[in-house]
Chains A and B, each alone.
Chain A
Amino acid sequence: MSGWPRFRAVADHALLVSFGDEISDAVSAEVLALDRALQDTPPGGVTECIPAMVNLLIDFDPLETDHAQLQRSVEGLLGRPLDERLQPTERVVEVCYDPDLAPDLTAVAETTGLSPDEVIEAHLSGDYQVRMYGFAPGYAYMSGVPKALRVPRKPAAVREVPAGSVIIAGGQCLVTTLTMPTGWSVIGRSPTRILTDDAEHPFLFDVGDRVRFVRVARAALAAERSDG
Chain B
Amino acid sequence: MAEARLRVEAAGPHVSFQDAGRFGWMRYGVPASGPMDRVAHTAASLALGQPAGATAVEVSMGGLTLSCRAGVVSVAVCGGGFQCDHDGTRLEGWSVMRLDAGQTLTVRAGGWGSWCYLAVAGEIVCDRWLGHSATHAASGLGGGRIAAGQEIVVTDARVCEDREGALPAPRPLASPLRLAAVAGPQEALFESGALDLFTGEMFEVSPAFDRMGLRLEGPRLATQDALSIPSEPLLRGAVQVAGDGVASVLLADHQTTGGYPKIATLLSTETDRLAQARPGDRLRFELVEPDEAVRRVRKALSERRALLDEIAVPRGTFSQRLLSSNLISGVTNGEPGAG
Contact = CB atoms under 8 A, between A and B. Distances in A.
A135 B257 contact: yes
Given A67-B291, A134-B29, A54 B23 contact: no
A25 to B, nearest CB: 13
Interface string B232-265: 1101010000000000000000011110000001
Interface stretch (A10-18, A88-96, A210-218): A10-18
Interface stretch (B10-18, B105-113, B136-144): B136-144
Interface in A137-155: 137-141
Contacts of B296: 12
A18 B185 CA distance: 11
B230 A48 contact: no
A66 interface: yes
A144 to B, nearest CB: 16
A133 B256 contact: yes
Contacts of A21: 230
B30 A12 contact: no
A80 B139 CA distance: 40
B265 A50 contact: no
Given A11-B265, A11-B267, A66-B294, A137 B232 contact: no
A11 B230 contact: no
B265 A48 contact: no
Interface in B268-308: 268, 290-291, 293-294, 296-298, 301
Given A68-B291, A134-B231, A48 B26 contact: yes
Contact of A135 (B29, B141, B181, B267): B29
B232 A53 contact: yes
Contacts of A67: 290-291, 294
Given A12-B267, A62-B294, A48 B29 contact: no
A63 interface: yes
A133 B265 contact: no
B29 A10 contact: no
A62 B298 contact: yes
Contact of A54 (B182, B185, B230, B268): B230
Interface residues of B, number: 40
B212 to A, nearest CB: 11
B24 interface: yes
B316 to A, nearest CB: 32
B27 interface: yes
A12 B141 contact: no
Contacts of A66: 290-291, 294
Contacts of B136: 137
A99 interface: no
B268 A52 contact: no
A142 to B, nearest CB: 13
Interface in B66-125: none
A40 to B, nearest CB: 15
A23 interface: yes
Nearest to A67: B290
A199 B130 CA distance: 7
B294 A12 contact: yes
Interface in A49-105: 49-57, 59, 62-63, 66-68
A178 B139 CA distance: 7
Given A67-B291, A134-B257, A8 B29 contact: no
B266 interface: yes
A12 B295 CA distance: 9
Given A10-B182, A62-B297, 8 more contacts: A8-B185, A11-B181, A11-B265, A12-B268, A50-B257, A55-B232, A137-B141, A178-B138
Interface of A: 8-14, 16, 18, 21-23, 47-57, 59, 62-63, 66-68, 132-141, 178, 180, 199, 202-203, 207
24 contacts: A8-B184, A9-B182, A9-B293, A11-B181, A11-B267, A12-B182, A22-B230, A48-B23, A48-B24, A52-B232, A52-B257, A53-B232, A55-B232, A55-B233, A56-B233, A59-B26, A66-B294, A67-B290, A68-B291, A134-B231, A135-B29, A136-B138, A138-B29, A178-B139
